[in-house]
Each structure stands twice: as C-alpha cells, then as structure tokens.
Amino acid sequence: MKAGLVPEITEEAGILADGPEPSPVEDNTGAVIHYFKMMESRLGYDLLLGGTKHFGLYRPGDSAWNWQAALRRMEDKLGKELALPKESRVLDAGCGVGDVAGYLARHYGIYVCGIDILDFNITAANRRAIRRGVPDRVAFRRMSYADLDFQDEMFDGCYTMETLVHAADAEVVVQEFYRVLKPGARLVLFEYSREAEQHMPPRAAAVFRRVSEVAAMPSYQRFEHGVLEQLMQQAGFAAINVEDITGGMLPMLKCFAMIAKVPYEIAKALRLEEQVINAMSAVEFWRYRQYFRYNVYTANKPVRRRGSRHQAFPRYLKKAAATYPGPQPHVLCDNASAGGQGRDRPARPAGPQHRQGRCRPRPAHPGLLRPLRRLGPRPGQPAQQPSTPEPTPPARTDSWPAAGIRPPLRLPLAYPGGVINQYYTAA
C-alpha cells in the first residue's frame, strides 16, 4: 500500500497544511460561506444527516426514514460510476465533512484529495478520517474548485456531490476539472437540473430563483436541462452520459418536506423565509418536484493518440528501404557543405557526411504519390535527349507485405524532354 500517496498529492501541488485563501473567478465565496454558516444550515445537516450534505438513494420498497442506508447507497452509486482501479487518485470537489471521501477510500481502495472553501468542514473532515482509520488514504485542503492549485493531469478521477450548483462560473470549474485530470480519467457529477422558466408556473419559477439566490446557487439557476452536458462538451470531455435518478432521491426529499412544513409556515407568517431557507427548499421543491431533476453526469477525458498514421509512416518506409532492392528514397540535405545543394534540394550520392547522420530522408506522404528517385538533369544543366529506357527488372515483393507497404507501382512521368518511367509508392 502506498501509504504516503495522499500527502504526496498536496506536496506536489505546493499546498500548505491550512491551504491558501480561495480566489474564485467571481466573488461568490462569501455568499456560499454565509449560507453554510447559517444556524439553520449547520443544525439541519448535523441533526438530520450527521453533517453529510447530499441526498440518499432508495430502491423500491425501502423505508423512506432509513437515511443512513440511503446515503451509503448513493455513495456506492458514485463509486460504481467512477469505476476506477485501486490506488487511483481522485479529486473530491466540495468535500464537506469528508464522509463521501472516507467511504470511497475505505470501500474502493482509492486515494481521495478533498477540497472545500469552509474551514470548519476541513477540520471536521480530518477528524473523521482519523476516526475511520483512513488518514493515509484521504487528504483535505481549503481551496476553491474554480482555482485549483494542482498540477496538470494529476488525478485519475474527479467528482462532485451536489456542489457544482454553488459555482459562480461553472464553465471555469469544468475547465479546471479537465486540466487536472489525466487523459482517460473519469468525471462524475451528481447535480441538479431544471426546466426552463417559460415551462414552469410563475410561482415555481419565482421560488426557484429565490432559493438559488439565498442558498448561493447561481449555477442551479443556469442549469436548465442539457446545459451542463454542453459545458462538459465545450471543455473537451467525451463519452458524456446523463442518468436521471430523481425517483431514487424523492423519498428523502418528502421526509424533509414533512419535517420542515411547520417551521416554514411559521416563518412565512413572520416574513422570515430567508432565515429558514432549507425548510423553504424542502417544502417548495417537493411541491414542484416535476420541474427539476437529480442527474448523474459521467464523462471521460479523451486519451491522446500516440502518433497518427502520418507519424508512423516513416518507420514503415525505412523498413521497406532496407528490404527492397530497387531505387532508394532521395535525400534532402540541410547543409550544402554536406554534399547537397542546400536545404530542400536533392543531395549528391551518399558520402562520408551522409553516413554521419547529417542528412535526413524525406519520407513519402501517405495517401499521395511521391517519387522515390528523381531522374533527369540537375538544376542549371542542359536537358539530355531522352532515350529509350531500359526494361525495369521485376521488383521483389516478398518482403513488402512484411513491411506493411504495398509493392511499388511503375507509372509514366512526363518530363519536358519526353516520358521517363519512374517508381512511385502507393499508400
């Protein structure tokens, strides 16, 4: 087991133990911190979910009040969607108190580096990691995911659990995810989307706008159905897939709405709805549940192909030249003193300079017909009278299939003095 891998993640990035001050692209950090520091938010998450800040996943027949089992089932859903081998490095963007990171590290054998802008969340996450026995597999730092202080292509996976809605500029965040992920890495986002306002009743649209404003969720107001997929595609991600699991989380939302109904009605009578924004969210989102979705977004960062056909062709040409007894490819010399006529001009027959590697062969371009040897007068010399070409001996083709190149085709080439037979290669 690589016991020191998670500390190594932060040391490579140059992050101190307490982390740098978050520096988001837009000034949204203060609003997010204010929302999570509200008394109602802290008491609600701690009393109901033990500090965890995401919904649970239910199966048909499950008890709606068995919240802990539903939470672990949602985290299992995340681990299966990541589908990463053990020892992988994963970024938890918006880790909260670290429950998700600790569960994945313990049950899936991965290393998780969690970031959050709330200092009290980072403190709680580090304590819980020690209590769960996974301090060597998780690390938590105070950082904004809009300005990740990590090296490029550092992580094998990245996920968010209902946190991207708090981003001030979701495009920047998704682009940062793309930058720090390795080619072939996995991105999984558990996020909300909603209907366009013109497709909702006016009151539903007004409620969603109010909740987004008070709960510091500007991106939720933007995440109409299909928008987040477009942002992921624009950032460069491929194999994007969206799964609607709204039905699996609605039982927990219904429980929250039942608990919050009375406090919300009292707050409405006193015109203090903003002081109980989570109660308002539970009641109103349950009332207008048909206008939003809870989605699982998955995507991969494309793998860079190691060499295209154009880059690999010279290797085949070199192998063919060693086995084919016919004329060899002409050489272009970069130095006129090496026996050639200057850059991009045919070189003289190979001499000592050529054997020293000072000249480079010019490969034939795949898909085009290029001469292997130019016949005719040199520049500045009078053209010779064409003569009847000697019959060309049949070419040996037994070695060409092994080199991956088709046998040469003998085609006529018209020159000013007549027609000269010449060898070409057909890609």
Q: Are strands 111-116 and 138-142 parallel, antiparallel or unpaired?
A: parallel
Residues 111-132 as b/e (b if ≥16 CB within 10 A, e otherwise) read bbbbbbbbeebbebbbebbeeb
Backbone angles phi, psi at 421, to 5 degrees: -75, 140
Rounded average pLDDT over 396-414: 47
Amino acid at 196: A
Rounded average pLDDT over 22-29: 56
* Residue 336 clears pLDDT 90, i.e. is over it: no
pTM summary value? 0.69
* Residue 10 clears pLDDT 50, i.e. is over it: no
pLDDT of residue 8: 52
Half-sphere exposure of 335 (CA within 13 A, CB side): 8
CA-angle at 10, arms to 97 and 233, nearest 5°: 75
102-116 residue pLDDT tens: 999 999 999 999 999
CB atoms within 10 A of CB 340: 21
Task: Give CA–CA dist 253/19, Å, rounded.
Answer: 35
Rounded average pLDDT over 201-209: 96
pLDDT of residue 410: 47
User: Token pair of 344, please?
Assistant: 């991009």
Burial zone of 105 (CB within 10 Å; 0-12 exposed, 13-18 middle, 19+ buried): buried
* Residue 222 clears pLDDT 80, i.e. is over it: yes
Q: Write the DSSP symbol of residue 199.
A: G
User: Token pair of 142, please?
Assistant: 């105070």
Task: Give CA–CA dist 130/344, Å, rounded.
Answer: 67
* Residue 241 CB partners (closer than 8 Å, separation 6+): 297, 298, 299
Rounded average pLDDT over 244-267: 97
Give the confidence band of 220 by pLDDT, cuts at 50, 70, 90: very high
Segment among 37-46, 98-107, 261-270 with least mean pLDDT: 37-46
pLDDT of residue 391: 63
pLDDT of residue 28: 81
Amino acid at 232: M
User: Token pair of 248, please?
Assistant: 């699996």
359-386 residue pLDDT tens: 455 554 454 444 444 455 556 655 555 5
pLDDT of residue 304: 79
For the chain, the maximum distance between any two Cα atoms, rounded to a whole number of angstroms, is 108
CB atoms within 10 A of CB 176: 21
Average pLDDT over the chain reads: 79
Task: Give CA–CA dist 134/106, Å, rounded.
Answer: 7
275 Rama class: left (phi>0) / alpha (psi -120 to 50) / beta: alpha
* Residue 145 clears pLDDT 70, i.e. is over it: yes
Q: Are strands 238-244 and 370-371 parallel, antiparallel or unpaired?
A: unpaired
User: Token pair of 11, please?
Assistant: 């040391």
Name, of 18-32, 299-313, 395-409, the range with top average pLDDT.
299-313
- pLDDT above 90 covers a percentage of the chain that reads 63
* Residue 189 clears pLDDT 90, i.e. is over it: yes
123-133 residue pLDDT tens: 999 999 999 99
Rounded average pLDDT over 165-194: 97
Q: Is the model more confident about 234 or about 351?
A: 234
145: helix, coil or strand?
coil
**Beta pairing partners, 331:** 361
Rounded average pLDDT over 245-259: 97
Distances (CA, A) of 13 to 33, 137, 142: 25, 17, 13
Q: Write the DSSP symbol of residue 326.
A: S
* Residue 399 clears pLDDT 50, i.e. is over it: no
CB 214 within 8 A of CB 186: no
Q: Are strands 292-300 and 238-244 parallel, antiparallel or unpaired?
A: antiparallel
74-113 residue pLDDT tens: 999 999 999 999 999 999 999 999 999 999 999 999 999 9
User: Token pair of 270, please?
Assistant: 């006193």
**Beta pairing partners, 141:** 115
Q: Which residue has the tokens 């981003």?
A: 167
Task: Give CA–CA dist 35/280, Å, rounded.
Answer: 14
Backbone angles phi, psi at 288, to 5 degrees: -115, 40
Residue among 164, 56, 136, 50 nearest 97 (CA): 50
